[in-house]
Structure formats: structure tokens, C-alpha cells
Amino acid sequence: MPNSRIELESEAHEKHREAGEILAQVREEAADRVEVGAGHLAVAEFAEDRIRELGGEPAFPVNVSIDEEAAHATPSADDESTFGEEMINLDIGVHVDGWLADTAITVDLSGHDDLAKAPAEALEAAIDLVEPGVETGELGAAIEETIEGYGFNPVVNLSGHGLGHWDQHTEPSVPNRAVSQSTTLEAGDVVAIEPFATDGSGKVTEGSDEEIFALEREGSVRDRGAREALAQITEEFRTLPFATRWLDTSRPEMALRRLKSQGFVHGYPVLNEDDGTLVSQKEHTVIVTEEGCEVTTR
């Protein structure tokens, strides 16, 4: 049995690394399948199934965000949407025994190469700065400067984040712009850095579509379908986000409506920029080391 914090941290980091290795492979394989005419659901399910084949579990439903969509878009079970000449963001997560890796990539079929490049270059600029003692606001400043250098805006109300055990969003927060107050990085931190660039205003708002949920609290519920869904959620997904299409109950939408109305789950509405604008994204997970950082999702 581990007998020190260092040993425990080392074991956790090995799981993070394993998750990152799986994720790097799946990201590239999934991105290769994004082409005009391919189905959103087919790509999402390919990635989720491939994660399992390689020995991990999805940390959250594959996000397939189109054009002005920035986050939290995932296909429904009967989704027949196909890709067109659009900007597509794939955001994918893997966990191994609850230890996570998180990554994202833009596949541009719209012909806006510079907008797709901006967050990728911003991410590299931020990663170059990562080491113990650096303020996360410094990373945000590098992200903002790089994206604005391309003539675009960072999405300022989305940020990178720490990755915990069975917890997709922990401290520290990594802003996508310069801020006066932020967190000092420490050796051992596991952080997802995820710049978003847009030709819109730089702020996203919640839409009406909602296909991703997460457990809010445990308890008992009378309705049979809701009870079956809650049992699956608590046992299989725990506190990590899940998709409506992942539930085995016969009427998952109704079960989730009941669970949400009683405070057992909360939803993640799709986050959108203004209509007619585009959003691009790039994300890696890093472990902060004494010498700098290790990117687990290369």
C-alpha cells in the first residue's frame, strides 16, 4: 500500500498518463472521420467505443460542436445530422479508474484556416510557460495575445481547469485572457488548458438544447424509470457527465426530466456564440513537473 502523498500522487499521475495516451490516439482517429457527409452520432460513438476498446472509459460524452457552438453539444440517440462545410470542434475525455485526461481539436471544413490555427498556437504559447510558480493569469495573457494576434477574440467566459479524481472541473482555473487575480501552479497539478477563439464577441451564452447531464445528489425516487436511471448514473458514471443516449432505461428523456425537476441531476445546455459566427478550440492536458510540464495528450 502507498505510504506517502508522493506515492499516491505518482500512482494518480500514471493513471492520468494512461488516460492521455488513449485519448491522443482516439482524438486523431476520430478527427480523421470528420468529413462532409459523415454523421455526428457515428463519429461520437466511434470515439466512445474506441476509448473502451483501448482500456479506458469516456470521461464525458464526446462533444461535437458546430460553427457557433462552443461546448456541451453531443448527439442524441436518434441524431441524423451530418457534417457540412463547417467548423467542427471535437472535445473528448478519458478516465482510467476515475483519473482523467481531456483534449479537443478543431477540424475545419469551412475554409477558415486562421481561425482554426489561432487556439492551437495559443495553446502552445501557454504550455511553454507552464512550470511551478507561474500564475494561471500569465497563461491567459499568452492565450489572449496569440488569438488577438490572429485578429480574433478569445472566448473569455470559458476557461481551462484542473482535473481531479472523478471530477472533470477542479481548481486551478486557467483563463483565456489576462486577469489580475489567478492561481499559482504547483508541481503535481494536472490541468487542462483549452483556448477558444472566435470571430464573434468572445462571450458564449446558454442555448436551449441539453443532452449532457451529471449527478447532483443521490437519494430515492418513486418513478420506476427514473429510479433505474439514477441507479445506473450513480453506479456507472458517478459524478462525471453522461449523455441521455447512454441510459439503458426505455424512456430516458422522461426519466431525466423527473430527476432534474427533483434536483438529482443537473444539465449542461449547449453554449453558443452569436449566430453566424464561428468558434475554434484546442486543448491538451498537462502535469506540472518540477522542470516545467508533461503533456499527456500529445
- Can you say which residues are annotated as belonging to the binding site for a divalent metal cation? 91, 102, 161, 194, 283
Q: How far is CA 138 from the centre of its chain?
A: 22
Q: Running DSSP on this structure, what letter comes out for residue 234?
A: I
152 within 8 A of 198, measured Cβ to Cβ:
yes
Please name the residue that has the C-alpha cell 462533444. Answer: 63
E strand or H helix that includes residue 94: strand 87-96
- List 194, 199, 210, 211, catalytic entry: 194
Helices (H), 68-223: 113-127, 136-149
Q: Which three cell numbers stand for residue 64?
A: 461535437
Pseudo-torsion of CA 94, 87, 197, 148, nearest 10°? 140
User: Coil, strand, or helix at residue 290?
Assistant: coil
- List 13, 112, 165, 169, catalytic entry: 169
Residue 91 bears catalytic tag = yes
- List 102, 121, 189, 199, catalytic entry: 102
- List 40, 95, 161, 284, catalytic entry: 161
Residue 194 bears catalytic tag = yes
Distance CA 185, CA 143 (A): 16
Distance CA 117, CA 135 (A): 25
Residue 148 bears catalytic tag = no
- Binding residues are 72, 91, 102, 161, 169, 194, 283
- List 18, 57, 68, 91, catalytic entry: 91
Residue 169 bears catalytic tag = yes
- Binding residues for substrate are 72, 169
> Residues with catalytic annotation?
91, 102, 161, 169, 194, 283
